[in-house]
């Protein structure tokens, strides 16, 4: 479980640092654009919420972490942070293993898996951020040191509802020099996948498909996913780079059979809230690519545990990061410490992916370079809190109905 990081931390961080205060912060900002299907269906106000934890050490140093939970349940996020705070105040900040165990003991009976894990993730990332700032080093140094000089990115978006908007996304991907573009295409949207595969090829861009089944229960089956792939291959010779989240939660046991027949790598795991479950899934042959998220799975150290398990099973670990810049940073620092080869780069416009950074992420020829700022390289100012104050109507609508496919929309240029 990435315990090697603790020895490295001891050489860089004053063990006397203690946690003085912890507070939850909710921020809301405009997200994507009206042509984005996620906005139309799940975020009708056009605003999206991010949940942060701010940790303050006894010397005044602050750190930020993010828990993905707040996108869906912001008040649950706040309440859970407030529940944990008294149990952490006054305790040593540098012993992440003990602070992790503290949080698991407080929340484990009622949320050993699930919502509380997002908050555990946020607190650990915030501690890493503060400790890195205190030591004057990037957070990956506290996670055992950087194991790679750059990480290839795939662009993640593709929820456009028209060819013109999808074309604009392809142009943006090409401008970044990124060679893989992941789109969202549900089972009834093979035409959309075919259109994008055909129009991406002239740019030298390959296309992956997220079937977005993580919220559907029981969701589609392996047979449904294979029928989708057959329909795509009937329309184009361009290969699907990988297929993500193709099965509903109740049919996750079908992943091994799907992998044997898919003809392309199968990816998943972004909603799983413990490293243990992802390790079990890898051992059972669920994935070619496992996608832990440091804002979901228990924090950067648990993400590294997944990386270690992936190496044992010959699986590619690819961090999922669909939140703000804090989410991105926590995942990217873990990926650099874990020797990651591929990571997600979210495309939809979201001011909190820019306004919370000390310096912009550096991308060269489609590859992410190591962050240089201390900690996670993030900050929260009073001005940002004022400009992006939480809105109660900026909550994800999970029960929204997906519109049917429009015949012919994706068959014409």
Which pLDDT score, from 0 to 100, does residue 409 have? Answer: 86
Q: Give the residue from 309, 249, 257 showing the smallest Cα distance to 278.
A: 309
pLDDT by residue (tens digit) across 215-231? 888 889 999 999 999 99
Percent of the chain at pLDDT > 70 equals 96
pLDDT of residue 153: 98
Rounded CA separation 288/242 (Å): 9
pLDDT value at residue 218:
86
Using a CB cutoff of 8 Å and minimum separation of 24, what contacts does 165-170 make? 165/33, 165/35, 165/36, 166/192, 166/195, 166/196, 166/199, 167/199, 169/347, 170/196, 170/199, 170/200, 170/203, 170/205
Token pair 């926590």 in the structure block, residue: 330
Distance of CA 68 to the CA centre of its chain: 8
Going 249 to 251 to 257 to 258, the CA torsion angle's sign is: negative
pLDDT band, residue 2 (cuts 50/70/90) = very low
Q: How far, CA to CA in Å, does 143 sit from each of 4, 94, 138, 216, 287?
A: 8, 12, 10, 35, 25
Average pLDDT over residues 260-283: 98
Q: For residue range 289-342, what is the model confidence (pLDDT) as tens digits?
A: 999 999 999 999 999 999 999 999 999 999 999 999 999 999 999 999 999 999
The reported pLDDT for the residue numbered 15 is: 62
Q: For 177-200, what is the mean pLDDT?
A: 97
Residues β-bridged to residue 52:
25, 66
Residue 404 pLDDT: 82
Q: Using CA atoms, how far apart are residues 267 and 217, in angstroms rounded to an integer? A: 18
Given a cut of 80, whether residue 346 has pLDDT beyond it is yes
Task: Work out the number of other CB atoms within 10 angstroms of the CB of residue 372.
Answer: 11
> In the prediction, which pLDDT does 219 show?
87
Give the residue-averaged pLDDT of 207-213. 96
Over 80: is that where the pLDDT of 285 sits? yes
**In the predicted model, what is the mean pLDDT of the chain?**
94
Burial of residue 413 (number of CB atoms within 10 Å: 0-12, 13-18, 19+)? exposed
pLDDT, tens only, 40-97: 999 999 999 999 999 999 999 999 999 999 999 999 999 999 999 999 999 999 999 9
Candidate from 7-11, 239-243, 273-277, 314-318 with smallest mean pLDDT: 7-11
Q: Which tokens hold the place of 138? A: 């990037």
Contacts of 181 (CB under 8 A, 6+ apart): 154, 155, 157, 158, 169, 170, 173, 196, 200, 205, 206, 207, 208
> Residue 413 — pLDDT band, cuts 50, 70, 90?
low
- The arithmetic mean of pLDDT across residues 280-288, rounded, is 98
pLDDT category, 4, cuts 50, 70, 90? very low
Share of the chain above pLDDT 90, in %: 90
Euclidean distance between CA atoms 121 and 302, whole angstroms? 9
Q: Residue 116: pLDDT above 60?
A: yes
**pLDDT tens-digit profile of 151-163?**
999 999 999 999 9
Residue 369: predicted pLDDT: 98
Joined together, the tokens standing for residue 105 give: 């003991």
């Amino acid at each position: 479980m990435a315990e090697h990081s603790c020895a490295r931390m001891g050489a860089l961080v004053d063990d006397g640092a203690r946690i003085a205060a912890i507070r939850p912060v909710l921020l809301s900002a405009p997200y994507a654009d009206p042509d984005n299907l996620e906005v139309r269906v799940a975020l009708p106000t056009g605003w999206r919420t991010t949940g942060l934890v701010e940790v303050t050490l006894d010397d005044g140093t602050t750190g930020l972490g993010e828990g993905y939970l707040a996108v869906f349940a912001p008040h649950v996020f706040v309440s859970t942070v407030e529940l944990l705070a008294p149990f952490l105040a006054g305790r040593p900040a540098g012993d992440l293993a003990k602070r992790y165990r503290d949080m698991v003991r407080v929340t484990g009976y009622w949320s050993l898996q699930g919502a509380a894990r997002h908050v555990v993730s946020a607190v650990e990332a915030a501690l890493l951020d503060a400790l890195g700032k205190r030591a004057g080093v990037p957070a990956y140094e506290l996670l055992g040191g950087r194991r790679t000089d750059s990480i290839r990115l795939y662009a993640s978006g593709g929820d456009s509802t028209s060819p013109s908007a999808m074309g604009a996304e392809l142009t943006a991907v090409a401008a970044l020099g990124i060679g893989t573009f992941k789109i969202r295409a549900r089972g009834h949207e093979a035409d959309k996948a075919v259109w994008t595969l055909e129009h991406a090829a002239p740019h030298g861009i390959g296309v992956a498909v997220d079937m977005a089944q993580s919220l559907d229960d029981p969701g589609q089956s392996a047979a449904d996913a294979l029928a989708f792939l057959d329909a795509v291959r009937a329309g184009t010779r361009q290969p699907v780079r990988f297929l993500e989240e193709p099965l509903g939660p109740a049919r996750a046991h079908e992943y091994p059979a799907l992998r044997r027949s898919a003809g392309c790598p199968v990816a998943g795991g972004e909603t799983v809230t413990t490293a243990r479950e992802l390790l079990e899934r890898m051992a059972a042959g669920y994935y070619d690519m496992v996608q832990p998220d440091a804002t979901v799975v228990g924090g950067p150290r648990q993400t590294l545990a997944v990386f270690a398990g992936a190496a044992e099973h010959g699986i590619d670990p690819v961090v999922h990061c669909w939140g703000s810049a804090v989410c991105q940073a926590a995942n990217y620092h873990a990926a650099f410490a874990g020797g990651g080869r591929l990571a997600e780069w979210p495309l939809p416009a979201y001011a909190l992916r820019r306004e919370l950074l000390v310096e912009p992420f550096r991308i060269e020829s489609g590859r992410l370079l190591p962050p240089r700022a201390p900690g996670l390289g993030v900050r929260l100012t009073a001005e940002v809190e004022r400009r992006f104050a939480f809105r109660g109507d900026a909550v994800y609508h999970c029960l929204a109905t997906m519109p049917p496919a429009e015949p012919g929309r994706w068959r014409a240029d």
